[in-house]
A = this chain, B = another copy of it.
Amino acid sequence: MELSCKSEYALLALIALSLHHAKGEPIRICQISAEQGIPDRYLEQLLATLRRGGFVKSQRGAKGGYLLTREPWKITLLDIVSCIEGFEAKAKELKSPQTVEGAVVCDLWKEVRQAAESVLEKCTLQDLVDNRNARQQIDLMYYI
């Protein structure tokens, strides 16, 4: 389970897409990258991965951009992170332990991974958006 900058960028982009999702209009890469401070050419790659993962669809040409394919509450964060971090993580698991000690540590690893994944599994993209809106309310109160 990796929690790299990559996954963070992907979540930020999907939050941005969720916020505009009601309108039904596509959002441009450069718009997201400007709002969230993500290098646009890098974001492009991540959105391509998310598109292949079936989370977003793209519309090419003028007035084009990206759209969510599903409602934000139908996407768990584990789905997203798994897509971004790739499936070669599964390949790493395949190295079956040769010793008793190796098996014990392997079990421990699975337990830790499970703990992390359960957090991501319980949380949907909509939950993140709700958190964002709640936090923005708080910030506004301080501003007044």
Contact = CB atoms under 8 A, between A and B. Distances in A.
Interface of A: 1, 3, 8, 11-12, 15-16, 35-37, 77, 98-105, 107-109, 111-113, 115-116, 118-120, 123, 128, 131-132, 135-136, 139
A96 to B, nearest CB: 13
Oligomer copy total? 2
Nearest to A114: B119
Contact of A131 (B107, B109, B123, B139): B107
Contacts of A108: 11, 77, 119, 123, 128
A4 to B, nearest CB: 10
A77 B116 CA distance: 16
A93 to B, nearest CB: 11
Contacts of A109: 3, 8
A128 B104 contact: yes
A127 to B, nearest CB: 9
